[in-house]
Amino acid sequence: MLAVLSLFALVGALVATLYGASSLMAIARRATDVMPFESGMLPQQHAASRYHARWYAITILFLAFDMEMIFMYPWAVVLADMGVGAVVEMFGFLAVLLVGVVYVWREGALRWT
């Protein structure tokens, strides 16, 4: 705990040092204020807009599947003590989710819109 905290502090200090070193060594201390790069043209609109992610359907599948990780890590630890029953239960659980994956795949939701 303390070890992680000190590592965090150390690397934080390292990052701060790099910023400090940069402000000492950099040819110009102030950041140059530029227009966003748009391959030689000036941008016509703000890029930070309502970005249309093409894979939003996959996120639902992902989140549902991801939830089950909470169970699977502890499951790995106790597997040896629990025996065959735990294997059957966990993979039965996963099999149900994989049926969901097959359904999603057939509906084409794994492809971008």
Partner 1 sequence: MLTDLSGWTIAAVVVLGVLSVAGGIAVFVVDSMARATFALLASFLAVAGVLLAFDLVYLAVVTALMMTIEMAIMAVFMIMFMMNPAGLMPMTMVHNARGSALTGAVAFVVLVVGIWTVDWPIGRTERPEDSTRQLGEAIMGSHMLVMLMIGIGLFATILAGTVLATARGRYDRFGADLAAKRPDDPIPGGLPR
Partner 2 sequence: MPEAETAAAAWGVLPAALLVTGVALGLGWLVAAVDRVVLSGGGGAAVLEPVRSSVRLLTEQRRTTLAPDRLLWRSGIAAVPVLAVLSMAVVPIGGRTLWSSSADLVWFNAMEALLWAAVWLVGWGPNAIHALTGGYRFLAQGLAYELPLMFSLITVGVGAGSLRTADILSAQAGLWFVVSMPVAFVVFLASAAAFAFWGPFGAPTGADIAGGVTSELSGVDRLLVEAGRVIFLGATAAMAVALFLGGGSGPWLPGPVWQLLKTVAVVVALVWAGRRLPVLRPDRVVEVAWTVLIPVTLVQALVVAVLLLSGFYAV
Partner 3 sequence: MDLSRRLRAWALARPRVLIVDAPGTVERRWAVEAELDRRGWPLAMSPADTDVLLVLGTPGPQLALAIDVLWSQVAQPRHRVDLRATTDLHHRLEETLHALGAATPKEHVDGALPARAGAGHSPEGTDDSTHEGMEHSRHEGMDHSGHEGMDRAGMAGMDHSGHEGMDHSRQEGMDHTAMGGGGHAGHHMHHGGEVAGLPMAETAPDRDGLALDVLRVSIGPVLPGWPTGLLLRADLQGDVLTGAGLSWVDATDDGSSPPADVHPQRAALDQLASLLLVAGWPTAARDARCARDGLASTGQSELATARRRAARVARRVRRSRALAWTVRGAGHLPSERGSAGDGDVLDRVRRWCDVALGADGHVPASPASLDEVAAVLEGTELGTARLIVASVALDRSAANTEPEEARA
Residues that bind partner 2 (CB under 8 A): 1-4, 6-8, 10-12, 14-15, 18-19, 21-22, 25-28, 30-39, 43, 46-48, 51, 53-55, 58-59, 61-62, 65-66, 69, 72-73, 75-77, 79-80, 83-84, 87, 90-91, 94, 98, 101, 104-105, 110-112
Instruction: Check: CB of residue 97 under 8 Å from CB of residue 68.
Output: yes
Shortest separation between residue 5's beta carbon and partner 1, angstroms: 8
Residues interacting with partner 3, by CB under 8 A?
Answer: 25, 27-30, 32-35, 37-47, 49-54, 112-113
d(CA 34, CA 41): 13
What burial letters (b/e) apply to 57-91, b meaning 16+ CB within 10 Å? beeebeeeeeeeeeeeeebeeeeeeeeeeeeeebe
Quick one: 1 or 31, whose CB is closer to partner 1?
1
- Grouping H, G, I as helix, E, B as strand and the rest as coil, residue 110 is coil
| 41 binding partner (options partner 2, partner 3, partner 1, none; Cβ < 5 to 8 Å by kind) | partner 3
DSSP state at residue 38: B
Intra-chain end-to-end CA distance of the chain, in Å? 45
Least Å from the CB of residue 66 to partner 3: 23
Residues 13-32 that bind partner 1 (CB under 8 A): none
